[in-house]
Amino acid sequence: MRKELKRAFTSPMFFLSALVFFLTLQGYALPVYLDNLAHEPLKFRESALTLSLGGIFFGGAILLQPFCSPTAHAVSQVDDLRSGIMRWSVLRSSVGSYVTRKALASFWAAAAAIGGAFAVHVIVWNLLALPYDPIAYPNHEVPFREDTLFFAWAPLAHALPIYLHIMLGLAFSAGVWSITALASAVWVPDKLLAVTIPACVYQLWSGGLSYYLFGVRLISPATLFNDGQTMDRVGEALLAYGVLLSLSLIVYYAGIKRRACYA
């Protein structure tokens, strides 16, 4: 496990994944900040909270997160298969222990890359812009709905609970997407597909495929890090991600077992 984690956290792909997600988050913050800097006096500029969350609420970070998550470590499954190291690893331990090792390392690497990139992004914008303080700067006020968690959390410690909640939401969902990538990589060992298939699943899920096929509306996959959160919605989203995680692990286990037996 230690070796796998070391491999995950020292790989250039881990840093690439974090860097791409960090840059994605700047897609909203940087142009708006520069525009504000040129045209608005300090007290009318957007707060650090808006700049930090804008890339998620209004930009494309949500769509790119499932692309970036598998890049951190899950794509290494393709290398394991192509080099033949997977078979030796399974021979020296067991299918179960290989799956556990790989899944945990991929989960933690994706969670750290995505969550870490968001944390750095928040720190940078809290240093550059004014921290969220609607009492001193009424212009900072973000109209969160009254029945949501963010409404209650916004006045606390410059909205620190919101940042923490979104960071954890991003990290957890990134971890789940990386397991989905492992499940696809073991059946179709192609790095490009391993990165793309989780994004496709995300797209079909958020596009409402289940509604058009079966008339069932699922909770949005972006619920854990998007606006309008309540305890019920968070619970539903965790359940949905839990189902996805379980399915992905089953498919991944079956793939590794099949390859170990018949490769």
Partner 1 sequence: MRKYLRSIRALVRGQISDWVHSPRTVIMILIIIILAYINGKSFEKTLADYSLTSHAGDALYIYLSRAFGNLLMISAYFLIMMSEIPRRIPAQLSMLMRTTRLKWLHAQILFCALIPLLMIGMLSLLSMALTFPYLTPGSGWSMMSSDPGVLYMPEFIPEFIRAISPLQANLLALAMLFAFWFTMVLVILLFSLAGKPNVGLIIYVSILMLALTLTWESFPPWLRAVIPTNYATLANISALFPGQELSTVPIVLLIYAAVDALLIGGMILIVKRMDMQFTRKDMAV
**Residues making contact with partner 1 (CB under 8 A):** 24, 27-28, 31-32, 34-35, 54-55, 58-61, 63-64, 81-82, 188-190, 192-193, 196-197, 200, 203-204, 207-209, 212
Q: Extract the tokens encoding 11.
A: 């790989």
In whole angstroms, how close is the CB of 146 to partner 1 at the nearest point?
28
Q: Which is nearer to partner 1, 78 or 112 (CB)?
A: 78
How far is residue 118's CA from residue 106's CA, in Å, rounded to a whole number?
18
Min CB(174)–partner 1 separation in Å: 17
* CB 35 to partner 1: min, Å: 4
Nearer to partner 1, 34 or 250 (CB): 34
Question: What is the C-alpha to C-alpha distance for residues 216 and 212, in angstroms, rounded to an integer?
Answer: 8
Shortest reach from residue 108's CB to partner 1, in Å? 26
Q: Which is nearer to partner 1, 63 or 160 (CB)?
A: 63
Query: Cβ of 180: how many Cβ atoms within 10 Å?
Result: 28
Count Cβ neighbours within 10 Å for each residue of 234-251 and write b for 16 or more, e otherwise.
beebbebbeebbeebbeb
Q: Please state, in angstroms and rounded to a whole number, the distance separating the CA atoms of residues 125 and 26.
A: 10
Nearer to partner 1, 149 or 194 (CB): 194
To the nearest whole angstrom, how small is the minimum distance from the Cβ of residue 205 to partner 1? 11
Whole-angstrom CA distances from 172 to 46, 106, 189, 249 are: 28, 12, 24, 15
Q: Which is nearer to partner 1, 93 or 210 (CB)?
A: 210
